Amino acid sequence: MENTKKILYSAVQPTNNLTIGNYLGAIKNWVNLQNEYDCFYAIANMHAITVRQNPAELRQKTLALLALYIACGVDPEKCTLYVQSHVPCHAELAWVLNTFTYVGEMERMTQFKDKSAKHADNINMGLMDYPVLMAADILLYQADVVPVGMDQRQHLEITRDIAQRFNNIYSPTFKVPEAVYQKVGAKINDLQDPVKKMSKSGENPNGAIFMTDDKDTIMRKFKRAVTDSDMQIKYDPENKPGVSNLLSIYSVFGNKTIAEAEKDFEGKGYGDFKLAVGETVANKLAPIQAEQAKLLADKAYLDEVLKNGAERAFKAARKTLSKVYKKIGFYQL
């Protein structure tokens, strides 16, 4: 029987430790989406090397991220879990798509400008070409939808432009993907600077809650979280960014609406509020951390998951790449 589910593609880099923002913005959604779509979930190690990495750490973090995916509820039986570099078609299609992408488009990319400023000693072509590799990631699998945060919207737009450009020249080849946005808790902000997104590479480590943080660390960071001086616990991102950020975190980790979260803290002070948010997050992360540790102790199982995932991903990717090579006139055996 033919699979009638729409195809969904998403990927996360195995760099630094993931924050609860990465979890809520990506992996938690993946668990819900895997029943609705035919999902391809990648560990984007090719994207990771646009910034210098320690090779041993990159290998270790690749397995740790896979174990985290599974510990969070991503099921290798329901979706395709694989490492990007295990499927050479990503690099091969990226090269072809480079010839349909203009330098000016890449120079205008917000992330390229930001990362160039942050890594001024290593402004490499990979950093500029990042969105083309991302376009290849998505288009290889004929993805119908891509879950994106607001900061990745520009990359999906260029993917759509490249796909349409190729289709217009050679006849329909790629599906033009649509974005899926998560409404609640999609953007979790820094605890110390609540107008900025929580980042795994932020300057102040107290601003981010990492998926590997123990309960004491989590509680300490929430106690230090920036709020304001008017002592009212209500959701108002413009005037009360710190409190609103904590309410967002509490509501998503506690499976409540923002209104329910506000009601929980009626008449309470900021001290009790921060403790409750910390407890809710720590209680949710503890079983995930335990399961991740258990999975990391079984390397043979993780390797088997990646081997099966790479085979499935390669089969789908090769089909698209062969079609592309035929269209552009590459002689194939």
**Residues with catalytic roles:** 115, 197, 200
DSSP assignment of 246-277 equals: HHHHHHHHTT--HHHHHHHTTT--HHHHHHHH
In degrees rounded to 5, what are phi and psi of residue 141? -100, 10
Cβ(204)–Cβ(193) under 8 Å?
yes
Compute the distance between CA of residue 48 and CA of residue 85 in angstroms, rounded to an integer: 11
Amino acid at 63: L
Q: Tally Cβ neighbours within 10 Å of residue 101.
A: 18
**Segment (H or E) for 135:** helix 125-140
Compute the distance between CA of residue 252 and CA of residue 234 in angstroms, rounded to an integer: 16
- Angle, helices 125-140/89-98, rounded to nearest 10 degrees: 110
Cβ(24)–Cβ(280) under 8 Å?
no
Compute the distance between CA of residue 82 and CA of residue 74 in angstroms, rounded to an integer: 12
Q: Any bridge partners for residue 10, and if so which?
A: 41
Q: Which residues, other chains included, contact 186 with Cβ-Cβ below 8 Å and sequence gap of 6+?
A: 24, 25, 149, 150
